[in-house]
Structure 1
């Protein structure tokens, strides 16, 4: 378990501007030793710029970066004791796997015998000891990814940075490498900060996920907390497979356009948005009103079969909601009237968003 007694990495009001554009806007984040944090968000949200600031490739306009209590925001990259895996792996094409992994050790003046020993250990760790003499052009994408990981880990960094580490791999290999990265990170116990736009990747790998929008961290929490109880409107929408309905409370009812829903006893006093999780919603034949939670008449607008699930779009009054159901269940065709049931674990509320949480302008 990460040691949370003091931050190993601290970002303190970090900002970076490019002319009139603010790429990173006052980002603060405390990362415990051994913790893995994902910076998650859409393109242009500032996550890669934040990672490059930590790596030392660009300098901040304001703010501090502390590693083990030492300010490093003005230190050159090679003095930061940081290992980095780039999105495109950035392997030297003229060097073998062993040569690529040895490069950082050579730059640090590690002697030949020690260097050879550590390179062999690092390649064995990622399962590529038998490819030490192979050049990148003769490697698969997954093998290149493993070489890049070995090169980052061989210098025994204090901090590991990963920039969209799986985006260049096909779907099957992405899952395999995701498990491999988790295994290596756990074995090494290295504090890790990684950037991704893939929520599944972030939720699977990270101890905590920092959701970014427009240069700011809008919410940072454990994966389960983010998915079950998002506090920020942007988080609820970005995490996908959810429907968000804006409304207000009047007379103990949550009033939205075309809807009036009884407010459950465990709901916050003044919710401004209802969040419905697609994979936990249930579709039943029209008129079937059994079960706890919300029960609403609906109409199926579209149904798309994807592998082991069917993704529905249903209309409830003027609202179009997403519902994901196992493909083994009896299906409903487009145009079919149904009952939409939202059990308690499918429902989350965002409380008085603009006042309590601070809506983005």
Structure 2
């Protein structure tokens, strides 16, 4: 065994040090690269190398599967009871422009919200529509399943009829529909489009409910649980994260432009201004920075609804102004507005604190 000296101390092993391999000079000092092992250098951690290679192979396989089988629309739109993505051209039937997911059976929604129930909301029957249906003012509307089988209607005709072909049903189909077993279901509760899913408003239409009972329909639960169950599903942490990822995917051109090309262009202008206006650039930088901070803060205030009349809302499209629906994204926006307020105040105070130093530095630059 050879004991050699290295930059981190003694090197103990069966390999000679560089001084032994290359020889010392006449004064006994090691030559260049002293203390470095020069012979038989090789990988000595094969298990970890194999594990690392397996990790990369798994990543490549997983990424390939995602690119080939995945669909980014899953991050934004829901699924119908057939497993089709709402709004997909490749669904059966073609669901292009049918972007909104609608739960047709309110009793299934209610039961899925019960703690003692074995039914989950994803198990409740859903179909894809162009917009959320509303109850009739003096009658009863139906939302029927996709036209197929004995129903001789095209999808376009089904849409033009507001998804209602109850009058074409056979007696057996009508009895099945009155038991909430399809193919047609009553529209008893109003609903609004919340992130491409129809959020029930637990405020049943008395006229529609009366017509339903007169027709011999089964009892429909009117509990607030119908509203809260869908809201909790739409507002879950995983659903919010999916929407954030989807937003990033949709905004990549803006990110490239505003996060890459525009800063590069502005930085070149900034360098040119330093070249020709070096004395005033310190103050220009401070003023522009504070103006940008104030602008971003005011933008957050507007979207949070604290200023103006253009707040960010979870409802897509028009809705009843008396219906207020919150969401995690709104809470996140309020928190970001408060954070930007703190940053704005700190920016102002910092600018005031360094004003005298900037004046001294400017006199030197002149």
Q: Do both proteins adopt the same fold according to a TM-score greater than 0.5, normalized to the shorter chain?
A: no
Shorter chain as normaliser: what TM range?
under 0.3
TM-score when scaled to structure 1? 0.27
Whose RCO is larger (CA < 8 A, sep 6+)?
1
* Higher helix proportion (structure 1 or 2): 2
TM-score when scaled to structure 2? 0.26
Larger Rg: 2
